[in-house]
A and B are shown apart, each in its own frame.
Chain A
């Protein structure tokens, strides 16, 4: 594809459930970032991958959040025991190398009931 894609576009779940959010970066991009945007706020950094490894996970709010990128391309953000406060738009961005322009996907809107 031409750009970053994210699936699903919308996810509604119940409190306490487990969810997975997927990001397909632009082909060949080695750097991948996850951000979370709550209502009325700007995006907030969650985690950064360089290749397959999580180089910086300082933005993950707690241990219910985890992300993987096993083959250095697609990434999955995993949230366990979801809470209502996890409701937000989860954005993924990729760049060809660290420091280059970050291209964002359309986001996944997560709603926890």
Chain B
């Protein structure tokens, strides 16, 4: 997980609250992405970015917003948290030369 830093590691929210999950990478990778992991579902792509100023939707984007103002940072925002968003969230950064994605340690979110 070297090079991809996620904060916080744990978070509990009440329904309707908003929050931002932070992700930063120091490898100068252009491509970054956010996944959620639920039991029995594997990892599913929420949003991704191919570079600063460019973002796009993944498989499960509803309820989440992203922005990419710098190459290093790719925050994920929950505007109005719902219990269905209880999950473990992973940020990933892509090494184009090796065609490999590297993951952060994850943020465990519970929405009550």
Do A and B associate with each other? no
